[in-house]
Structure 1
Amino acid sequence: MVRVRSTFLAGLGFIALGLAACTDVQQPILPMTKPVARPDIPAAPQKPAQVARPTSEASAALRSYLNQVQSAQLSQGLLRRDGGGEDTPFTDAMLARNFEKIAFYNEYDSDFSGRGGASPLRRWTAPIRMEVIFGDGVPPSQRKSDSETISAYAARLGRATGHPVSMGGTPNFIVIVAGEDDRRDTLAAAIARMPSISQSSIAPLINLPKDTYCVVAAYSGGSGANTYTAALAVIRAENPSLLRLSCIHEELAQGMGLANDSPHARPSIFNDDDEFALLTRQDELMLKMLYDPRLSPGMHAEEARPTVQRIARELTSAGPV
């Protein structure tokens, strides 16, 4: 088992944006039927094919380490992809309890220095526009597969929450897939796309501990201290395929507002035991609860508890799920 798979940061601010527990994002060519020869006009130079930059020894060593982590977890029956089953039933009371612990608490404080504490409910009110930015060292084949995965998963998050989530437009949630050698430069490119995020606020995302596979930071601004306006998710490109997919599932879902983990949440990706790699049925219900109009940003756990319990009963009305 590893100590950390992913991390969610929390905080406030718009000018000097503080980190918050959980980040955003985004052409056809018509062929000519016959080329026309124009020998007097030099041919336009062809754009060179995109080639991944060679990786350093540090990046190669990290890739080897993460492959060993994935192999060890799979050998222990972890990183399940079934979403939960007959061995992981949960009731309305369990759903309500898990939602409260995950939605009303922070996993970490803003600089990884300690565990986060109780927090009001946080979520987005504006439509989420995601974009993916890759580090120079990420090969074209991985870029293609990761882009397709993130796009499909963004649509799934939109369906689960009922909140608009799309790829395209001016981004407010950027997903970075980068390695040790290019994470700093890729983060610089990301905040250039979202100027409301300050350079100083991304420091915890640059120097990641070895056992942090991915991280997400959500930012709030203006008078809406509990309303997210921007987010950045950072996923190590060195992660092998399943760990990388697991990071995509957890970080983007946490970036919606489910900021904490709980050892009691099962089946769930919001649990540091790494039993589940991919979003589960209970996780989808918690996302649905998070964006239920009967709850609103800024509500505290005690105030929201009766409503949370009512929604959980409605979602599990047929009995244990």
Structure 2
Amino acid sequence: MRGAAAAAALLALAACAVPSARVEAPTRAAAAPAALPPVKVFPARRPQPPQRSNADIARDFLDLHFRLEGGSTLPQFTRFEGPVTLRVTGSPAPGFSRDLNALLARLRDEAGIPIRRVSGDSAGITIQSVSRAEIRRALPKAACFVVPNVSSLSEYRRNRRSARTNWSLLRSRERLAVFIPNDTSPQEVRDCLHEELAQALGPLNDLYRLPDSIFNDDNIHAVLTGFDMLILRATYAPELRTGMSRAEVAERLPAVLARLNPGGTRTAAVWLPETPRAWIAAYEQALGPSASPRDRLRAANRAAEIARDLGWQDHRRALSHYTLGRMLHVREPELALQHFRTAMSYLRGLPGTRMHQAKLTVQLAAYEIATGNGAAALARLGPAADTAAAHENAALLSTLLMLQAEALELEGRSVEARRVRLDSLGWARYGFGPDWVVEARLEEIAALRPSAP
């Protein structure tokens, strides 16, 4: 399989990962300009409504609200009752207020939640902006997190083992804190805002079976989707209230969803199977930094075997192959490429998986470029870049555009390549942060293109 070994260098990169170190600039003309362009930001968008049945969405709503990630159940429904106030403390990163205000506008407009920012000493939700080191000292594996019944990181530390910060004991939502990093890329800050504020307001659980949601630990989606906004709008529907049991919510939910999402009443249910704890444990060990490379590979194989034995034909089967491909990219790049192609074969035609396909396109287009097939890479990259833009993932979008520039160079379209490469840099500054990271990503992708004979 000619060129697979050359492709391994880029296959090593996640679409949103930060390069670990600087590399030497390539000799051909692909280096970043002396002054990078301004940071680009996405215009206001309204995402597509969910394309699934209300029967499936009702099941998802109940499992999101009445279960926790560890598998325990919650006895009653909770939400904020009445208008929600929010304040910001700490030292917010540049661009934080812009992204927060945009998110609050979406929550009011799309989810119908009466939420507003205040400047006083107290609020229903406090967002504290602190360093990554402070977050890791409080919760070592977290990039950001949300806690009930506290208003600061110091208060959380004092009460971290008490009943008041235990989500399973929560019976009403009156005071919560969200802890967000202030020393990482703008996109990571924004992604944390979306995920943690959504959980502060609504569901506490994440479900791997959801292909079109931020309430999923697979990190496919960066911002709240149309499905997520529907879940939040249903959460604050007047038919529901804090204290209801699962049975009481289940009784009212069909009418709520029929009112909010009438198209879902005419769609047939798919009813994806539950995700077993064995697959979750294997998948999370494969991605976790604490295990050795050998143990991570074994875990990735285990996840793929479980998905196969269960007969899955959905995005989780594809995710299993994608993860295994990432584990194999250095030792067995040809086999890794087979897994990437298998993953794509499961995703084609599946609704709600365009972002999954866009992330896989990074790997598949990298192979095409490394083997000198610019036309094949361009055929993949255009639709994937459109998807990344529609889902506001700047890190993925910039990576796809950098790959597109290299493919254009292969096709002898140097003027277009320079334009696309320059366009990628503004998105990369939002997605990856510091200039040296942007330049390192550009150099790594430029090094993928075969040198002229």
State the TM-score, normalizing by the size of structure 1: 0.57
User: SS at the partner of 1:239?
Assistant: coil
Tell me how far 1:168 sits from its aligned partner. 1.2
CA distance in 1, matches of 2:129, 2:143: 11
2:87–2:117 contact (8 Å) kept in structure 1: yes
State the partner residue of 1:129: 85
Structure 1 portions without partners, runs of 5+ = 1-67, 74-80, 108-113, 184-204
State the partner residue of 2:96: 146
State the partner residue of 1:97: 59
State the partner residue of 2:140: 209
Alpha carbons of structure 1 residues 245 and 308: separation in structure 2 relative to 1, 3 Å: same
Alpha carbons of structure 1 residues 299 and 206: separation in structure 2 relative to 1, 3 Å: farther
Letter in 2 for 1:288: R
- Report the number of matched residues: 210
CA distance in 2, matches of 1:125, 1:249: 20
2:103–2:194 contact (8 Å) kept in structure 1: yes
Whose strand fraction is larger, Structure 1's or Structure 2's?
Answer: 1
CA distance in 2, matches of 1:266, 1:84: 15
CA distance in 1, matches of 2:213, 2:250: 21
CA distance in 2, matches of 1:131, 1:168: 5
CA offsets 1:226-278 (integer angstroms, 9 cap, x no match): 32111100122343222221111111111112111111223110011111111
CA distance in 1, matches of 2:46, 2:191: 12
User: SS at the partner of 1:234?
Assistant: strand
Letter in 1 for 2:184: N
State the partner residue of 2:16: 71
Check if 1:254 corresponds to 2:199: yes
Tell me how far 1:152 sits from its aligned partner. 2.3
1:123–1:297 contact (8 Å) kept in structure 2: yes
Structure with more relative contact order (C-alpha pairs < 8 Å, separation 6 or more): 1
CA distance in 1, matches of 2:143, 2:132: 11
State the partner residue of 1:179: 131
1:177–1:235 contact (8 Å) kept in structure 2: yes
Letter in 2 for 1:129: T
State the partner residue of 2:76: 120
Whose helix fraction is larger, Structure 1's or Structure 2's?
Answer: 2
CA distance in 1, matches of 2:68, 2:75: 7
Letter in 2 for 1:94: D
CA distance in 1, matches of 2:203, 2:242: 12
State the partner residue of 1:168: 118
State the partner residue of 1:279: 224
Structure 2 portions without partners, runs of 5+ = 1-12, 19-43, 151-163, 165-169, 268-350, 352-453
CA distance in 2, matches of 1:226, 1:293: 19
Report the structure number with the largest CA radius of gyration.
2
Letter in 2 for 1:156: R
Tell me how far 1:281 sits from its aligned partner. 0.5
CA offsets 1:159-210 (integer angstroms, 9 cap, x no match): 3343321111432311122114555xxxxxxxxxxxxxxxxxxxxx852224
Tell me how far 1:215 sits from its aligned partner. 0.4
Letter in 1 for 2:138: N
1:176–1:235 contact (8 Å) kept in structure 2: yes
State the partner residue of 1:299: 244
CA RMSD of aligned residues (A): 3.1
CA offsets 1:106-157 (integer angstroms, 9 cap, x no match): 33xxxxxx5542341110114222112234xx6xxx33x1012112212322
Identical residues among aligned pairs (%):
25
2:145–2:180 contact (8 Å) kept in structure 1: yes
1:70–1:243 contact (8 Å) kept in structure 2: no
Alpha carbons of structure 1 residues 162 and 242: separation in structure 2 relative to 1, 3 Å: same
Letter in 1 for 2:116: S
Alpha carbons of structure 1 residues 116 and 238: separation in structure 2 relative to 1, 3 Å: farther
Check if 1:267 corresponds to 2:212: yes
